[in-house]
Structure 1
Amino acid sequence: MASARIVSNADTAEYYIAERCHVIEWWNSPDDAHSSIARIRVEPGVSTQLHRLRGTSERYLILQGRGRMHVGDLPPGEVGPGDAVFIPADTPQRIVNLGDEDLIFIAVCTPRFVPDCYEDLEAA
């Protein structure tokens, strides 16, 4: 069980992942298996890898930039600052940066993101 705490992420380093985006994990703790929170940055003109998270739902909260969200059977939709996207567990997804600036969003996963839940759908 998680204990109360305040976590400073001021010095948390951003890292690049094979999904074609940059990540800062703001919250992902084994003692709080219910959720994780990350800041994601997608460079201009880049599409993240088509993938799904097995057993894990995800929410995107768009902070900056413009993107086109592909999620499940929905028609692709444009997103921008203030928009939220719900991605049910096991649903194929990707986002494309449509603008000339970085696309930045918060990704909230429930339960928390673990690498084993990630499935690359482009390799298949």
Structure 2
Amino acid sequence: MKPTIKPAINRFDPAKEYFFEEGCYILEMANSADDPALSIARARVEPGRVTRLHTLAEQVERYVILDGEGLVEIGDALAETVTVGDVVIIPPGHPQRIRNTGESHLIFLALCTPRFRPEDYRDVDPEPPR
């Protein structure tokens, strides 16, 4: 049975931000089984930090850079500087990470289709967690 999407407003609540094992702070803005086509999270990476190299099993992920600057790596194919307004597209199963190369927080939206599920996250970083 297909979920029925109902009109709703998800209120922004910075108190719900948490530190995720990937190495950044996450604020889930929209992620529900009632709306399985898309999830939206705000990610925040502290200056000088890099997220863990990881893959998502099922999701196409898009980063929309809102503030700061960084270096995004996607597999062996891409290592590029990103800044405000850039959109990064990451296919399912591609190793990815992002480094904050600026002096302020790197903040971006992570939009996943279908929606992000924690069981689809796979750490593939050869370095131990910091």
User: Under TM normalisation by the shorter chain, which class is it?
Assistant: over 0.9
In the alignment, does 2:93 pair up with 1:90? yes
| Matches for 1:21-40 after TM superposition, within 5 Å | 21-40=24-43
Q: Deviations over 1:79-121 (max 9, x none)?
A: 0000000000111100000011100000000000001100000
In structure 1, the gaps of 5 or more residues are none
Q: Find 2:104's aligned residue among 101, 105, 109.
A: 101
Q: Secondary structure of 1:76's partner? A: strand
Cα displacement (A) at 1:75:
3.2
- What is the alpha-carbon distance in structure 2 between the residues aligned to residue 108 and residue 75 of structure 1? 19
Residue 118 of structure 1 aligns to which amino acid in structure 2?
Answer: Y
- What is the alpha-carbon distance in structure 2 between the residues aligned to residue 75 and residue 8 of structure 1? 35
Residue 22 of structure 2 aligns to which amino acid in structure 1?
Answer: E
Bigger drift between 2-11 and 24-33 goes to 2-11
Q: Find 1:59's aligned residue among 58, 62, 86.
A: 62
In structure 2, the gaps of 5 or more residues are none
Q: Deviations over 1:47-94 (max 9, x none)?
A: 000000001110000011110000123231000000000000111100
Q: Find 1:20's aligned residue among 20, 23, 26.
A: 23
Q: Structure 1 runs of 4+ off > 3 angstroms?
A: none
TM-score normalised per structure 1: 0.94
Identity of aligned residues (%): 45
